[in-house]
Amino acid sequence: MSKKPVSNSHQKEGGYWLYGLHSVQAALKNPLRQKNRLLATQETFDTLMTKLERPLNISYEIVDRMMLDRFCGRDAVHQGVALQVMPLPDPDLEDIVKRHGPVLILDQVTDPRNVGAILRSAMAFGAAGIIMQDRHSPEESGVLAKAASGALDSVLVMKVVNLSRIMKQLKEKGFWVLGMDAQGEVLNGQNYKKRKVALVLGAEGKGLRQLVRQNCDEIVSLYMAGDIDSLNVSVAGAIALYEIIHSNLI
């Protein structure tokens, strides 16, 4: 294992830096993830090694926290570890639909922290995967991966050109497509018990685009007792996922 001095050559090698213990651990365990370099403080490296089931197959470098600040940014909560990786390969639709659980569709949700939080909820509540537009969604990044807390390497994420087309394909495969909107009928998970569901979440403020909305089978909302008509998209997605998943368990 190499412990040579760290340089800024990562900019030439391509890829990006994941940081944070959960994100790095999940990436190291993912056989589909191309991994280039690992930087860690001695303390975090020792902790990481206790969590892995196999030896590392990449070089690692023991560094101090100031060096990690330089690579990840001073505001990054890197927890003493960073991993240079290449973006994950896109799955096919068949890879997603053969899994159990709802499919999440994100209609121009562009904030990487929101997408990361949605990924985390998707993993927690057993979603089959997430589908996003390729042009109006965040790229893989350390910020997104940190917000996902390891879910980026566990949940399948597919990027497509045309969401309406993919919604039609899901319908052909037996999915019932629900669009989330404050003006919809209150979501009742019992109505979708034993059914395959795709849940469409729109961008905050803008909501669902008209064509996407028209391609939904049904528009649903969340019950809210207070004087608020909307929630952060990642929070709304988590509550809707829980309602659908929980109803299929009881």
Residue 58 is predicted with a pLDDT of 86
- pLDDT tens digit string along 155-207? 999 999 999 999 999 999 999 999 999 889 999 999 998 899 999 999 877 88
Task: Name the residue with tokens 């990044």.
Answer: 141
Query: In Å, how far from its chain's centre is CA 215?
Result: 24
- pLDDT-flagged residues of the chain (< 50): 1-12, 250
Residue 249 is predicted with a pLDDT of 60
Are 24 and 148 in contact by the 8 Å Cβ rule? The answer is: no
Residue 72 is predicted with a pLDDT of 82
Closest listed residue to residue 245, CA positions, set 166, 181, 189: 189
Strands 60-62 and 35-40: parallel
Instruction: Report d(CA 174, CA 168) in Å as an integer.
Output: 10
Mean residue pLDDT of the chain comes to 89
Task: For 185, list phi and psi in degrees, rounded to 5.
Answer: -65, 145
Task: Name the residue with tokens 């197959």.
Answer: 57
Instruction: Report d(CA 35, CA 85) in Å as an integer.
Output: 5
Cβ-based neighbours of 191, under 8 Å, separated by 6 or more: none
Residues in the chain: 250
Global pTM value:
0.88
